[in-house]
Structure 1
Amino acid sequence: MLERFIQFFHEIPRYFRYALYRVMMHRRWVVLTFLVSSLIMFITVLAFKILGTIDITQASINYRLTGLITFAVIWIAIYNNYRLFPRDYYVTRHFNSSPFLHVALSGLLYGLTLFLLMVVMITTKSINTDTTWFGVFFYSLMSLFFMITLSFLFGVIYMLYPKLNQLYIIISVVLMLLLPIFYLPDKISGVIGHLLMLNPLYYLVNGMQQSVIVGHDAVNHLGYHLYFCCFMGLMIVFSFALRDYVTQLKPNEHSHSHLKADEEETAD
């Protein structure tokens, strides 16, 4: 036991170098996401000026666009992280550690990207709508928490179920249709709205929309904050339970067929 403990500290420099290397593998996705999202926002502002769009229509479109960008960043972060997880798991076993550091650092990178995109939205919007900066920072932080937790959980599931990609895409499309991107929350009844907010993605997307566009009452939902924290706590419990299960399996009981393909697709 003492020998393994000493070996772990001896391998820390290599562990951090590998973690930074894995984070750098996300740079293409991060840069592409930021540029495409920023371009869409600038084109939208230019179209508003050329077409002379009225303020209420501009606010409605910006509201939807904010939600779409928030969802896209979260989706891309989780998708890329869990696909890299199996390879990281096997490598970090040599350091007597886990790939959590890789997931956390890459999640931080996507979380910062989300926050910067919201800053771009705030500074480029052509109408003087209210903005709650505390709300933008708060929901960026909650999105970061969500991305790290779900990336780790889906990464462990991906080791046991290599066909997770198809299921992830199908569920993501369904959840996206239920988000306030294709509709406005004030157009639905209160009961349905409360049911939709049971979806943690709705909580994050709608919270960011209110913080950037609406401003008031963006963070005044104590009940939903508590619900989100409880949901995330449950996801953490599932993550640790599945991780313990995976660690008890023999290496040949894991599925390796998808690792090489994922490496080739993700590598720059």
Structure 2
Amino acid sequence: MIDSMINYFTKIPYLMRHAYHRQKSQWIWLVAPFIVSLIALFITMLIFKMNGTEEIKQAQGYFKLTAGTSFFYIWIAIYRSYKTFKSEYFTGKLFNLNPIVQNMVIAIVMCLTMLISLICIIIATPVNIESSIYSTLFFGIMSMLFVVVVSTLLGLCSILSQKVDIIYYVISCIMFFIVPILFIPNSNTTLLSHVLMLNPLYYLIEGFAQSVVLGVLSLNNIPYHLYYLLFLALLCVWIYALYRIVAHKKYVYTIASRNVKGKSNHSAQDENTTKEN
């Protein structure tokens, strides 16, 4: 255990350089959502200006814009991370390196870019809207944890199954409609809101949107924060178990490959002996 920790920390400079070059080669995944978010913000401001929209409706519009922006940033971060995890798992094991470092770097870079986009939205909101940069930063940290944990879980599942991509697309489509982007809960949908809040992604999307439109009000629900952290802890337990399952399957596959290779070598030797006789 201690040797593994020492090896991990001594390899950090190499891991950071490797992560930097990988991010540099995939810069389009970072630039594209940022440009799209700025274009969406500009179009929203232009529509509000041309129509003379009242501030209450502007608040609803910025709420949906913030929710949609944060959703797609998180979606892209998880997708990139678990796809990278699968390739890094096999190459990293050869050098006794943990592939989760790539997930952490992707999560940090994507979330920092998302925060810049959200701060641009905060600056664009009307004066009467009480935005909070501190609560936005808080949910940015929570989203980084979410991206790292979920992408690691999906990365391990993608090693065991080839259907993870399809499952991810389907779940993402469902999530888009049950988080507060198109549908914003009100006082008449309290029960439905509590049911939807069991979804941790709902916690993040609503937290970002409320931070931009309602300010620090998004930080008042302490039990919900604890529930979210407990949910991530449960996912970490699943990750711990999946690591053992993947390692076991890899061991079984290696042994089987060696046995097949050994049998083929023995067969070749027998054929050569037969020919000599």
Superposition pairs of residues 86-105 of structure 1, within 5 angstroms: 86-105=86-105
Q: Offset of 1:6 from its aligned partner?
A: 8.8
Cα separation, 2, equivalents of 1:3 and 1:216: 44
- The answer as to whether partners of 1:15 and 1:92 remain within 8 angstroms in 2 is no
Cα deviation code 1:32-52 (max 9, x no counterpart): 010111111011101211121
Distance 1:186 1:6, change over 3 A: closer
Structure 1 residues 124, 182: closer, same or farther in 2, change over 3 A?
same
Q: Deviations over 1:205-251 (max 9, x none)?
A: 00111111112421001110010000000111111210121122237
TM-score (norm 1): 0.87
AA matched with 1:73: Y
- TM-score, normalised by the number of residues in structure 2: 0.84
Aligned residues: percent identity? 33
Structure 2 equivalent of residue 130 of structure 1: 130
Residues 55, 127 of structure 1: 8 Å contact kept: no
Q: 1:33 to 1:50 in 2, by over 3 A?
A: same
Distance 1:99 1:52 in 2: 51
CA contact (8 A) 1:77 1:110 kept: yes
CA contact (8 A) 2:139 2:208 kept: yes
Query: Which residue does 1:261 correspond to in 2?
Result: none
Aligned 8 A contact 1:135 1:211 in 2 = yes
Tell whether the 8 Å contact from 1:8 to 1:95 is kept in structure 2 after alignment. Answer: no
Q: Name the SS for the 1:249 alignment partner.
A: helix
SS in 1 for 2:182: coil
Q: How does 1:83-232 map to 2 (within 5 A)?
A: 83-126=83-126, 128-186=128-186, 188-232=188-232
Give the gaps of 5 or more residues in structure 1.
255-268
Q: Does 1:69 align with 2:69?
A: yes
After superposition, where does 1:40-55 map in structure 2 within 5 Å? Answer: 40-55=40-55
The higher radius of gyration belongs to 2
The Cα of 1:160 is off from its aligned counterpart by 0.8
Residues 70, 205 of structure 2: 8 Å contact kept: yes
CA distance in 1, matches of 2:191, 2:6: 57
The answer on whether the counterparts of 1:15 and 1:95 sit within 8 Å (CA) in structure 2 is no
Alpha-carbon shift at residue 2 of structure 1 (Å)? 11
How many pairs were matched up?
A: 254
Distance in 1 of aligned mates of 2:8 and 2:215: 48
CA deviations over 1:111-155 (Å, ceiling 9, x no partner): 101111110101122453001222111001101110111111111
The letter of the residue matching 1:181 is I
CA 1:6–1:206: 2 relative to 1, 3 Å: closer
Matches of 2:238 and 2:217, distance apart in 1? 32
Q: What letter corresponds to residue 211 of structure 1 in structure 2? A: S
In the TM superposition, what is the alpha-carbon distance from 1:4 to its structure 2 partner?
Answer: 8.7
Match of 2:24 in 1: 24
Cα pair distance change 1:56/1:101, threshold 3 Å: same
Contact 1:58 / 1:127 at 8 angstroms: preserved in 2? Answer: no
CA distance 1:120–1:30, change in 2 (3 Å): same
What displacement does 1:5 show?
8.9
Query: SS of 1:67's equivalent?
Result: helix
Asked if the contact 2:146/2:232 (under 8 Å) is kept, the reply is yes
C-alpha displacement of 1:191: 1.4
* Preserved CA contact (<8 Å) 1:42 1:124: no
Are residues 208 and 7 of structure 1, via their aligned partners in 2, closer, same or farther at CA, if it must alter by over 3 Å? Answer: closer
Separation in 1, partners of 2:144, 2:3: 36
Q: Deviations over 1:11-48 (max 9, x none)?
A: 66544332222233442111101011111101110121
The one of the two structures with greater contact order (alpha-carbon pairs below 8 A, sep at least 6) is: 1
* More helix per residue: 2
Tell me, in whole angstroms, the C-alpha distance in 2 between the residues paired with 1:164 and 1:183: 27
Distance 2:184 2:11 in 1: 52
Q: Which runs of 5+ in 2 are unaligned?
A: 255-277
For 2:219, what is the secondary structure of its paired residue? coil
